[in-house]
Every structure is written in structure tokens, then in C-alpha cells.
Amino acid sequence: MTISKRQEWGVSCPLPAGAPVVSSDAELAAAASPAGLVGGDLCRTLGGRGDRARLSSAEAMTLPVDALSVSLDGGGPIRAVAHVVARTWGWRHLFVAMNAQWLGSWNVAPRGHPNDGRVDTIEWDLTWREARKVLARMPQGAHLPHPRLRVSTVPSVSVSFPRPRPVWVDGVRVGRARALTVVVEPDALRVVV
């Protein structure tokens, strides 16, 4: 069940013996659940510190998280756990769908939650100079609100672009697409940090 306001989230529970331990968002998307997470943007969002020993200790937290089902140009689904990025060179034209708060050092979705049954999206078409200014404010999460950014929080989203754009899923380039669909899979995984 997805999280609700003022509701406790997760339980204090160590990683079961034999469960996988992964160090990136892409590895988590491909792993069996439950999985221990010691790296990546979702790990940072969940407050993980990359400490493998913690996963088997009493301090370990087991958390339900959503996943994203991503389709490029109507193709078969690709699973994501943290983010989907479709952008042009220079970041002038961008679409991003965030299940995690962080994209590298950027605090892209400061109000996002990885278990709310929704994906946070940001889309923009900016000049090179405007894009640089927005990107410079992202490490602090100070890029929002912005009059030229289209922001939404939705259970699914479909977008199309005038030309094919490179697409990255959890930091891995997966191809180019003119159309992109992202659907939230609520409570898809159990993650231990």
C-alpha cells in the first residue's frame, strides 16, 4: 500500500540471508525483491549510506518502493526505480520522470516520494542560457517553482517529441525515442537500506 500523509513508512528489518545486494539503480531494477541497496540515487533518496554491514543489522530498514514501467515508441516495457531522462544536447529540451529525489548531485524532485504511487515530472524547452541557470539551481532544489518549467505529479504520463531524443533509464542510455510512456507500479519492490 502506498504511503499516505503522516503515516509510518517501512519497518526495521534486516536483509534476509541470500537476498541480493546491489549498488546502482539499474541493478536494483533488475534484481529480485527484497534487495539490499548500497548505492545510486534511490539509495540517497531513502537515506542509505552505502554501508553493507548495516543491511544485516538491527538498524536496517525495509521499505516498499514503487517502480516505473517505461515504453519507448510503443516498445516493450523497461523497468526503472529512480528516473527516466529524455533530453537534447545541452539540456535545452528536457523531460524527466522522477521516482527518486536525486539525479546525481541534482535535487530534481525535492518533494518527490518513492512510494506515493505517482511519478514527478519536469519538462522544459529553454534557451541554452535559461537551461544553464535552471541546472545551476538544481543541486539545492531551488529550481522550482519556475514559470517556464512544466511540473506534474501523476500515476502515468505519455509524452512525444518533435524529433527522437536520447533516453536514459536509471542512468543507462537505452536508446532514442519520439514517444515515451511512464507508468507507476505501486509497491513493486522491497528495498533494504
Number of residues assigned to the chain: 193
Residue 2 has pLDDT above 90, yes or no: no
Residue 82 covered by a domain:
yes
Q: Are residues 71 and 40 in the same domain?
A: no
30 shares a domain with 84: no
Q: Alpha-carbon distance 172 to 24, whole Å?
A: 10
85 and 144 share a domain?
yes
Residues 163 and 92 occupy one common structural domain: yes
Same domain, 93 and 81: yes
Torsions phi, psi of 33, nearest 5?
-105, 135
The pairing of beta strand 35-37 with beta strand 21-22: parallel
Mean residue pLDDT of the chain comes to 92
Question: Is residue 141 assigned to a domain?
Answer: yes
4 in a domain, yes or no?
no
Q: Hey, which of 21-25, 127-131, 142-146 has the most confident mean pLDDT?
A: 21-25
Task: Report the predicted TM-score, pTM, of the whole model to 2 decimal places.
Answer: 0.91
- Domain match, 59 and 89 both: no
Query: Could you read off the pLDDT of 54-64 as tens digits, one per residue?
Result: 999 999 999 99
Cell of 39: 548505492
pLDDT tens-digit profile of 94-109? 999 999 999 999 999 9
- Do 61 and 74 lie in one domain? The reply is no
Number of CB atoms found within 10 A of residue 8's CB? 6
The answer, yes or no, to whether residue 7 has pLDDT greater than 70, is no
One domain, residues 31 and 76: no
Residue 178: which domain range? 67-186
Question: Has residue 192 been placed in a domain?
Answer: no
Question: Is omega for the bond preceding 34 within 30 degrees of 0, making it cis?
Answer: yes
If one counts the domains in the chain, the total is: 2
Q: Which residue has the cell 511519478?
A: 119
pLDDT band at 49 (very low <50, low <70, confident <90, very high): confident
pLDDT band (50, 70, 90) for residue 6: low
Q: Is residue 60 a part of any domain in this protein?
A: yes
Same domain, 126 and 178: yes
Among 29, 50, 65, identify where a domain stops. 65
> Do 146 and 55 sit in the same domain of this protein?
no
Same domain, 109 and 149: yes
In a domain, 193, yes or no: no
Q: Do 189 and 153 meet the contact criterion of CB atoms below 8 Å apart? A: no
Q: What is the DSSP letter of 3?
A: -
Mean pLDDT computed over 171-178: 98
Whether 131 and 180 share a structural domain: yes
* Boundary (domain end) residue, out of 65, 84, 105: 65
Q: Please report which residue ranges of 9-112 form alpha helices under DSSP H.
A: 25-30, 41-45
Alpha helices in 85-189 (DSSP H): 128-137
In a domain, 140, yes or no: yes
